[in-house]
Structure formats: structure tokens, C-alpha cells
Amino acid sequence: MSTENNSTKFKILIGILSLLLIALAVYTFTIYNDRDEKVTSLEREKQDIEGELEELIANYDEIIQDNELKDKDLLAARERIEVLLDSVKDSEANISLIQRYKVELGKLKEERKMLFRKADSLIAVNDRLVVERDSTNTVLTNTRKLNDSVTVENEVMAEVIKKGSIVTALDLRGEAVIVRTSGKVVDTKRSSRADKIRTCFSLTPNPIAKKGDRKLYVQVINPRNNLLGTNATLKYDNGLLNYSATANVFYENDELDVCILVDAKEADLIEGRYVINLFDGPNQIATTTMELK
């Protein structure tokens, strides 16, 4: 009887112990599953944080590169995000770290909003400056064109005035003359009787010509192409002018009659055709011919 009771008690104890082992196994399995799920959840949250940080970096890269902004605050913020991303990648996921990273991520998102508003303002300022610069360049280009046009017009006008200010001569004529001992001058058509060549002409009125003293030069070239008179030389910018005689006149912008006597050697006064050229300084203002018998 006592043996049976002991056997029964032993079986009951075995049963209780078995139940306890089963309960422990179930508890252990549950704990393991919960832990595994938590680890998986933390890893997923860590990956989500990494993805959001990478997106933030991409946002900063886009606004910095597309708009060529070198704002130090934008560059510093992107650098902090890169440092935090490296820290997240190198750390093992746990609840406290994930919570801290979430807080940092939230701060970075708020900072992004603030910095991007500032960047938008900078972009707007840059765009306005570009427009103003383009407008200024357009104005400067137009001003240069206008100045060039005015310069050309002034040069043309100066040339017109220069040409217009030249005094011209009308009715240029030449004739051989005999100079009497009394000083009387008599015309002749015979070269053998002539003493000098006289040239006469009229300076035309010109209101824009320079008023005052003028020096006129005359060339008389005989049929043998010899220059009569003093055969002196006038030097000017573009060359030399050989002339027979000169006359100083006072020009008052009105018509002025002038005659110039040209000395001649007896050997130069020959029969034939003579060419007479008249110059106002280096500018030829009239030409004519004459015939002597």
C-alpha cells in the first residue's frame, strides 16, 4: 500500500515537472520570437532613417548644384547629415539609438525647411541680379552702339565740315603780260614779248570756311612741263607741293577777287599750252589752261 502511494506521488511529480518544462519552453520560444521581431523592427526603422537621411542629402545636393549656391549654412547642414548617416550605418540598432536618431532626423527636417526658404530667397535675389545684369549689359551694349554711331556721325560730319570749309575758286584764268618800266601791266598773246604770267580768279563765298589770313599757291607749268616762277616747295602731312608763286589774302567769307603775278625766265616763256593750278594750302581748288603764240 505504501509503495503504491509513493509510485502515485512520483508520477504526479513527474507530470508537474513535465508541465513546468513545457511551460518554460513555450515561454522561452515566445521571448525569443518577441526579441527577434523587435530586432527586425529596429533594423527596419534604422534602414528607414538611413533612407530619409540619404534623401535629405540628395535634396541639399540638388538645390546646391542646380542653383550653384555656395551658402555656408547649406554646406554645413549637408555635412552634418552625412556624419549622422555614417553614424547610423556603423551602429547596431537599439531602441535608445533609434529614438535619438529619430529626434535628430526631425531636427534636420525642420532645419531643411528653414534653410530651403533662405535658399529660395537667395535664388530669387540671384535671378533678379541676373535680370538686372542682363538689363545693364543691354543698356551698355546699346550705349556703345549709340556712342559708335555718334562717333561715326561726328567723323562724317567733321569730314563734311572739313570739305565744306575749303574755299573754292571760280573763273581761274591765265595770261601773259608785259610789265612797263612805269609799272603798267599790258596783256599779250605772244610768248616772245611776255615778261610774266598773271593768274586771276575769284574766291567763292563760304560761311563755314575759316575767316582770316589765307595763303594761296599757284603753279604755272609751260609746254615743256617746266614749273615757272620761284619753284619753291610746301611740305604738308601727305607730301610736297612745288609752286610758282604765292599770295596772302584776308578772307571774310565773302567773294574775293585775287590776281597773282608769276615771274618767268625768258627761256621758259615759249609758244604752246600752259597749265595753271591753284591751291588753298595743300588743297587744289581750281585748274585751267592758256595758249601763247
pLDDT in tens, 86-97: 777 777 666 666
Question: Which residue ranges does the chain devote to CATH 2.60.40?
Answer: 169-292
Q: What is the pLDDT of residue 221?
A: 92
Q: What percent of the chain has pLDDT over 70?
A: 62
Task: Output the pTM of the full model.
Answer: 0.46
- Ranking 130-134, 155-159, 177-181, 285-289 by mean pLDDT, the lowest is 155-159
Pick from 35-39, 151-155, 248-252: least confident:
35-39
Largest distance between two CA atoms of the chain? 199
Of 45 and 292, which is predicted with more confidence?
A: 292
CATH of 169-292 given 1.10.260, 2.60.120, 2.60.40, 1.20.50:
2.60.40
Which of the residue ranges 3-7, 169-173, 225-229, 274-278 would you say has the lowest mean pLDDT? 3-7
Quote the CA–CA distance of 223 and 291 in Å, as a whole number.
Answer: 9
Nearest in space to 112 (alpha carbons), one of 82, 80, 77: 77
